[in-house]
Amino acid sequence: MAKNWAIAIGINQYDYLQPLNYAKRDALLMQEFLVNEAGFERIFFFSDDSPELAGKSTRPTRTNLLRVLRQLFEKPFMGAGDNFWFFFSGHGIRYADRDYLMPCDGDPEDIENTAIAINFVSERLRRCGADNVILILDACRNEGKKTGEGIGRQTAEEARQQGVISIFSCIPQQYSYEIDALQQGAFTTALLEGLGIQGKCATVERLEQYLKFRVPELVRQYKNTRQTPYVIAEPVNKSHLILVPRYATLADIATLKNDAYQAEVNRNLDLAEQLWIRVLAAASGQDMEAIKAIQRIERLRWEPQEPSSPLPNSRIENSTKGIFTVEKNPLKTFQFEVVTVNVKGNITNRHNEEAEYFEEDLGNGVTLEMVQIPGGTFTMGSPRGEAERYDSESPPHQVTVPGFFMGKYLVTQEQYQAIMGSNINIFQKILGNNNNPSNFKGDKLPVEQISWDEAVEFCKKLNQKTRRKYRLPSEAEWEYACRAGTTTPFYFGETITTDLVNYNGNYPYGSAPKGEYREQTTNIGIFPPNSFGLYDMHGNVWEWCQDAYNDNYQGAPKNGSAWLTSKNNDIKLLRGGSWLDSMRNCRSAIRGNYARAFRITDVGFRVVAVAVT
């Protein structure tokens, strides 16, 4: 499911401009539509008397609007398949060849210092990370006199360059009219009709067609004049994007699929993946063609490409944008046994599986094995009937995760030293400083006592060494990879035993017996893996994720991306449990957290790899 956020602004009362009658109502109705009919999770609403947000005023002054544009969009917080809409109803002015939105304290005699440049708005919106950003401007309200060319020309050109879908209430030489009989602007009336049950305009293309006949019709009827809305959606396939999935027809989805296939043919894998994710969202996560396509794209990212010039020693180089080339036939296959247990922890089934992986040479005989994880959709969080669950694992929600590669094992001490460096002088050796912070020493033991920042630094240095893109997993990627298609508390089944997992055996789960308490970490790979071929996803050491910790999943991303913001961004998320924990705290859904600088003997990490873009 896509993440849907918006900003809605409506200004009636201006300090230095003629007041408007219905701009506030336009924004309020847009907010209601987005929440009640389009399923948006979060709307930032600004109007003459809108309520405070987190103790801050939401009166649409220049200072308040710039604050939200700066702070909210400082770092990406959305991803492929997500939507961010920006709706503005109020005065707009063109000055010195630039387009401006007028906040409530905007001064027409000092536009550059009191208004907000629309290109700044567009630039900030693009930072959110969503591939579908929509800018809706009902912003050429009539002040009773013509003050030159209206807004639109500069904004339209920049929209073309940035890929922002821009919907304008009128062409630059016209005004946007309010209709007393409707108590709304003509444009917003038509817009809400088109997006709603009356027009059922699921796509940008259909919405544009509806606006082009409906807005002029309303203005002729009530004002006997002209107003011509227009839409900028480039590249052309942007016009096929589905705005309101509930009204999407099979033909709309088929058109989007054709665009996705064409992007694949053109080797534009970033665009292809975005489009297939949108197909999946429109189909409520049930389109197998889209799921297989997302998996196919991940394979394509890693297939060798013919270079334009010989590659030194056939090593890794960047090729076409979005493709990362490796040695010929980089993926190998390994086989492994998967076991399933009953409620008492007795093994009831054994079967063989196989997975593909590649090896990264870290030097001095040390390698890193990365397993291919196919993309798919799963239910994240624990079901309400799961024993000993925590409230933080709610609500269960569907998440669609694109394919990626994940470390077959936890990062070991020898791998950590190979990347972080182990050349030390005699004084460092005496002090025991060898870039291995672990309490329990051993080359094949997982590295522990690692802070979140140190894990991130490891990824950065690994990227520099390998020229790939390594990072910590998102929480969604981690749980999806851990479950490997299962819905039980553990990927082994309803419970576990200490024959299968390293945890504190004094604290069993369900009907399982007590077991061994080893009181330390164990070598990687000695317990059975899950169906994806990943080891130690339960127990041994907790694993850092990218995400900031939030108390529950209300508002969590549904596209597999990391949730990077919380009430305290310095508290980071952990998954998996450890040798120190009870069986309850090693479940697939368990969520832990520590401050990013915290180090302890039961916290480590593993890495994921994604294609370089």
Residue 75's domain comprises: 4-246
- pLDDT at 326 > cutoff 70: no
At 509, which CATH number? Answer: 3.90.1580.10
- Is residue 395 reached through a cis peptide bond, with omega within 30 degrees of 0 on the bond before it? yes
> Is residue 143's pLDDT more than 60?
no
Beta bridge partners of 403: none
Q: Is the pLDDT of residue 444 over 70?
A: yes
Residue 126 near residue 47 (C-beta atoms within 8 A): no
pLDDT at residue 519, as a whole number: 93
Residue 264 counted as domain residue:
no
CB 575 within 8 A of CB 585: no
How confident is the model over 235-247, as a mean pLDDT?
Answer: 80
With bands split at pLDDT 50, 70 and 90, how would you rate the model's confidence at 569?
confident
Determine, yes or no, domain membership for 424: yes
Are 169 and 192 in contact, with CB atoms under 8 Å apart? no
Query: What is the count of structural domains for the chain?
Result: 2
Q: When comparing pLDDT for 347 and 322, which is higher?
A: 347
Given a contact cutoff of 8 angstroms between Cβ atoms, the answer to whether 177 and 169 are in contact is no
**What are the tokens at 327?**
């040695």
* Residue 462 lies inside a defined structural domain of this protein: yes
- CATH number, position 55: 3.40.50.1460
Last residue of a domain, one of 246, 262, 287: 246
In this predicted structure, what is the pLDDT of residue 471? 95
Residue 212: partners with Cβ closer than 8 Å, 6 or more residues away: 228, 229, 230
pLDDT at residue 285 in the model: 67
- The residues near 611 (Cβ < 8 Å, ≥ 6 apart) are 269, 298, 301, 302, 322, 323, 324, 469
The pLDDT score that the predictor gives to residue 292 is 83
Residue where a domain terminates, one of 220, 246, 272: 246
End-to-end CA distance of the chain: give it in Å, rounded. 23
Last residue of a domain, one of 194, 214, 246: 246
Domain membership flag for residue 251: no
More confident residue, 143 or 46: 46
Q: Is residue 490 part of a domain?
A: yes
Q: List pLDDT tens digits, range 457-515.
A: 999 999 999 888 999 999 999 999 999 999 999 999 999 999 999 999 999 898 899 99
Alpha helices in 245-342 (DSSP H): 250-265, 269-282, 288-302
Q: Can you give the pLDDT at residue 158?
A: 62
589-609 pLDDT per residue, tens: 999 999 998 889 999 999 999
What per-residue confidence (pLDDT) applies to 192?
Answer: 97
Domain assignment present for 275: no
Same domain, 166 and 21: yes
pLDDT class for 193, splitting at 50, 70, 90? very high
At 324 the pLDDT is 40
Cα-to-chain-centroid distance, residue 34: 20
Tell me the CB-side half-sphere exposure of residue 560, using CA atoms within 13 A: 26
pTM, two decimals, is 0.52
Q: Does some domain include residue 605?
A: yes
Evaluate whether residue 591 is within a structural domain.
yes
